[in-house]
Structure formats: structure tokens, C-alpha cells
Chains A and B, each alone.
Chain A
Amino acid sequence: MVKPQKTLNQQLLRYGLYVLLGVAALVYLLPLWVMLLTSLKDVEEIRNGTLLSLPGTINFDAWSKAWSGACTGSTCDGIAPFFANSFRIVIPAVLISTLVGSLNGYVLSLWKFRGSEILFGAMLVGCFIPFQVILLPMARMLAMLGLANTVTGLVLVHITYGIAFTTLFFRNFYVGLPKELISAARLDGAGFFFIFRRVVLPLSTPIIVVCVIWQFTQIWNDFLFGVVFSGAQTQPVTVALNNLVNTSFGGKEYNVDMAAALIAALPTLLVYVLAGKYFVRGLTAGAVKG
């Protein structure tokens, strides 16, 4: 068998494509590379070298300062306490919004009732409400609940905002499950929650992963809610990072800024690396079945 020869034209096109993709990847990776380089240099090197010049000696002083010594506004404990704050906010908010979303999706797809489609449509509107619109009413509400400037308050805000998205994810995933599965379980004698726990939830792994990644990234990276609704002690890492960069005594310490930014970005990066494969699979899972 002779393989059909590709014409010169086709080969050129193919290589052109590779070059284009390579350039695109480079453009996206360049800032990260510059950040990493800068965070490993000392202030002297930054001042004398170019953006892309390599550090003479690799030192992690800037990293340790960013973690535990840099000043963020009035305190100088680095971003570590705020890093912990972010986890205190993200973990409950992600877990609760995912759980509520899955229950909502379960009802809206497999236990439809009169008006459930309208309710779902109304919930979808929640995905399109700009953050800024709800700032004032939310602030009033948190104050009324006595949750202003607390971690709990921020968790509540993120849960409320996240439920629209998590509901959408789970509803669209569960719509693809055969309804007969639920009918069979009902005839077998299972009730609403029993079916959810024993039949539906075990099939939900892909969409749970998608939901967790999405919610984790959204909440971890949130700045606006963090800056508006948190107190001095309850700021998430994004707000602290902003304060760190804006607080300077004399010269600007770009290396510390970069190190702090990288530290703040690490958790989301880690989540993507660990679960990214499920993310793509889960997002397209519903699409294929239609």
C-alpha cells in the first residue's frame, strides 16, 4: 500500500498552522514566564536587567517575604493569613453551592412540576446579573443578618451567586439521564432522596468535577465581593494581593509582587492540572447527547 502523498501546499499549510499555534502558546505563556523570572530576582537585578534576562542566582527571598513578611496595608504578615481566609471562604461556598445546585438540577430535570421550566428560566437570569448591581442590596442584607465583614457573610454571598450556575450545570446534565431510571427506582420503592443518593449522585461525577472547578475558580478569583463585603481580618487573598501591590515604602518590590501573585494563583492552577481532563469531558458530555 502506498500512502497518498500530501501535496506541498498541504504540508506548508500544516506547518503554518503549527507555527501559528506555537506563537499563540508563547504569547499566553510569556507573562507567566516573566512573572516567574522576576519573582526569583532581587530588586537590584530587576532594576539593571531587562524583563526577560535570567536571574544571576535563584533565590526565593521574595517568595518568603510575600508569604509571611510583606505589608498589606497596615499589617505586615504577608499574604499567608489571607490565603487561609480564601480557603475558609472557598471550601464551604463551593461545597454548599454544588450540593444545592445538584438538588435543584435533580428537581428541575427529573421531577418536573407545573411551572418548573419557568422557575429554571428565572434562575438562569441569575447567571446574567452583573456583580455591581447587587452590591448595595447585599450589603444591606448582610448588615441585617449581622454578617457584615465576616467570612460567613462572604460564603453566603458566593453561595447565592453560585447557585444559578451550579443549577444550570446539574440540570443540563441530569436532563440527559434517562427518565426511566427514575421510574424504575420509584417502582422499586425508592423515595425522592433515596433515588438522589443511590441512583443519581453516583452518576454525577463528571458534572460535580466541572461544578467544583468552576465554582472554585470563580470564588477564589473574586475580587469585587471580597473587597466590598470583607473586613480587615477577613479579606480574601485577591484583596490582600491588591493591598500588597499598592502598599510601598520607598522602592517598588516587583519581585515580591510577582511572587505574591503566583502564590495567589497556585490553587486554581492546581485544581485545573488535577481535574482539567474531567472539565473538558464534563462540559461536552451534555452537548454530544443533545
Chain B
Amino acid sequence: MASLTIDNVTKSYGQTQVLKGINIAIEKGEFLILVGPSGCGKSTLMNSIAGLEDVTGGRILIGNADITQAAPKDRDIAMVFQSYALYPNMSVRENIAFGLEIRKVPKVEREQEVQRVASLLQIEPLLDRKPGQLSGGQRQRVAMGRALARRPKLYLFDEPLSNLDAKLRVEMRTEIKKLHQRLGTTIVYVTHDQIEAMTLADRIAVMRGGELLQLGTPQEIYDNPVNKFVAGFMGSPAMNFVPCTLVASDRGLGVEITDGAGNPSWLPVPNAERLGGYIGKQVILGVRPEMITDPVPHKAGEAMVCEVPMKVLVTEPTGADTMLVAEVNGVEINCRINPGYSTPVGQVVPLMFDMSKVVFFDPTTEERIDRA
């Protein structure tokens, strides 16, 4: 039985459709992330689940109960807001217990619940403080505590980490993941940060312009995106998109590329059987930066791996890897290089292209053309 079912939900403000028929179902205990650029409808969808906004059409179910028309308080949902939305006039203890108090939970139980949540989140020393006396990270914890206190059926997180500084954000990300693993709660989490999406989610829903583009596990979304937008949105640095022509030769199907120094090369293509209709036509080749590396001996000789001379334009060392910028068919591409590999700027060095995971898009529709 699905824990949350979003069944063909639409939402319009006058003539503008902000949700164009969204269908998502998640199981109990699943961590779903809604991700997409600003204005893609992810926050609207979340508010619709919470009941803070009405939907124009479709149904929302929690378990088997249709809650499309239910008031927010009757949905058994807790939400963590981007701004935390802690009640400034109440202490941390009162903030956490507020929902229990409204639901007429006896005082003794309320206090037990506050203690349980406080120890879970390690905020016991803060219980008597006001939100104004807390740091950003502490407020974040209290906001989560408030959500956890009622033990609702569903948790909603609306960009909860976006107000924290980079280091704290990574810490809290891990914290949320641990919490989810420990409590096994069902979570819907909105973010525009694709790293948060990759690290936290059991499943990711990528949205754009009010449409659900793809719903899948992080790895599916990463390896097998449905279109160029999803491919470019997930992954950092982003996937390289190279315009090229598919050619059939005696070595099989492949693409021809030219680097910044004018050296032509030929690269093999996987899943050739699905690309038959595009031979001789312009396509967009999508290849992730980590698939273009310094030559590594253990891969040499594999069918989809070739060494290609490339002119180095820029190198950006990050410590663990060096990002190398080269040019292919007139566009700049990122390659992930071992820092030990010597890549003097302006020189032509051999790089290894692993083509086994490349994807292809139609240049006009931007849809995948080699997807199974």
C-alpha cells in the first residue's frame, strides 16, 4: 500500500497552470525528493500535500484516505519550513509541544514527548530558550523537533537547509539521513540542490514548469535521464553536451569529434540498435565529466573506451580531482582528471573517453533518443 499517492493533481491560478497533472506514489518509509529550478511547482505541490493550498483537480491520498479536501490539521502531516517558522514568543519546549497541546495531549505525555524529541536531536540544553537566542543550526533542529513530536504519518521538508552555511548544511544533511534511517519515516522533501537530492533520496521527482519529468532512484535519474534537462540538472559539474553527427562505419556506429586544436577523432557508441533512425543526423551526445579521464591502464582495451588527444584549455584543481576544460566540436567540456596527471595548459594530452554510459538527445526536442 502506498503511503502517499498523488493522483493526477493539477493546480491553476486563473489561466496559469502551475501543476499540470502530477502522478507520484511513494511507499511507507520512503524518502521522496522533489527537485527542480525555481518556479517548477515543487513548493506548490508540497503546499498542496500539506493542505495549505487547494488543488484544482486530481486527488491526494495518505494511505487509503482521500485527503484532497481535508483541512491541514486533519491530514496528520508535519512540515519543516525553509524559514523554520518557530513561534518567536514561545520557548523551544513550548514550540515543540504546541501541536500536542492543541491536540489535547495530557501534560505529562507532552513533557515525555518533548524529552524524547529533544534527546533524539540533542537539544535538551536549549529547551527553555526562545528561538531568537538560537543559532541557525539550532533553530533548524528545533523546527525538526516540532515536526517529530506529533509522530505524524508524513513529514514534509521545504528546503530546510537552504538558510544554513555550507558546512552546517552538509552536517545537517547527514543528520537528516541518519534520522530517516533510524525512524523509518515517510518524507517528502523539496530542494533545488541536486546534491541534497542525490544524497538523501530513495526516489527523486524532477520537475520543470509544473510537470513531473522523471521519477526514479537517484542512480536511475543520474544514469538514465529522460531528457537533456534532467541530465543537465543532476550532477556537478553538469553533464557535457556535445553536438555531433552519428556515423556508421566499419567499426560500427560512432560519432566524429574535433578537439580545440583541430584533431579529429572517432568515438564508439553503445546501444547502437536504438539509434538506427539517427544515422547521418545531428544528435547531442551527453557524457559525464567523470567518464573523460586521464588514461587508466585497467580500462584500456575495453570496447567502449578510447584514447583521444585533447588540447587543454583550463585546469581547475579541487584537491581530490582536477577539472580540466577542453573543447569538442566547438563547445567546452569538463573532464575529471587525476591530479597526478600532467596537463599543461595549451598542450595536447591524451584523454580517455569511456563511452559505455553516454546518452543521446534529439537536438530539437531535447528528449532522449537511445532510452530503452
Contacts and interface: CB of A to CB of B under 8 A. Distances in A.
B102 A187 contact: no
A185 interface: yes
Interface in A153-205: 178, 180-181, 183-191, 194, 198-199, 202-203
Given A183-B79, A194-B102, A188 B73 contact: yes
Interface stretch (B81-89, B222-230, B312-320): B81-89
A178 B143 CA distance: 15
Contact of B52 (A181, A183, A191): A183
A196 B77 CA distance: 22
A184 B82 CA distance: 11
Nearest to A181: B85
Contacts of A178: 83, 85
B87 A187 contact: no
B1 to A, nearest CB: 24
B79 A181 contact: no
B78 interface: yes
Interface in A5-47: none
A178 B84 CA distance: 10
B98 A188 contact: yes
A209 B9 CA distance: 46
Residue among A184, A190, A203 facing the most chain B CB atoms (10 A cut-off):
A184
A180 B73 contact: no
B82 A180 contact: yes
Given A180-B82, A190-B102, A185 B77 contact: no
A187 B98 contact: no
Interface of B: 47, 50-52, 71-73, 77-79, 81-83, 85-89, 98-99, 102-103, 146, 150
Contacts of B52: 183, 186-187
A178 B79 CA distance: 15
Nearest to A205: B89
Of all A-B residue pairs in the complex, the 5 with the closest CB atoms, nearest first, are: A188-B99, A180-B85, A202-B89, A189-B73, A184-B85
A188 B102 CA distance: 7
B79 A184 contact: yes
A85 B43 CA distance: 56
Nearest to A178: B83
Contact of B85 (A183, A190, A198, A203): A183
B188 to A, nearest CB: 13
Contact of B81 (A184, A189, A190): A184
A269 to B, nearest CB: 32
B103 A189 contact: yes
18 contacts: A180-B81, A181-B87, A183-B72, A184-B85, A184-B146, A186-B52, A186-B71, A186-B72, A186-B73, A187-B51, A187-B73, A187-B77, A187-B99, A188-B98, A188-B150, A191-B73, A199-B89, A203-B89
Contacts of B73: 186-191
A180 B47 CA distance: 11
Contacts of B77: 187
Contacts of B51: 186-187
A144 B57 CA distance: 51
B252 to A, nearest CB: 57
Contacts of B98: 185, 188, 190, 198
Given A181-B85, A187-B78, A202-B89, 11 more contacts: A180-B81, A180-B82, A183-B85, A184-B86, A187-B51, A187-B72, A187-B99, A188-B150, A189-B99, A191-B73, A198-B98
Nearest to A184: B85
A288 B47 CA distance: 29
Contacts of A188: 73, 98-99, 102, 146, 150
A135 B78 CA distance: 54
Contacts of A199: 87, 89
Contacts of A181: 85, 87
A130 to B, nearest CB: 39
B323 to A, nearest CB: 38
Contacts of B71: 186
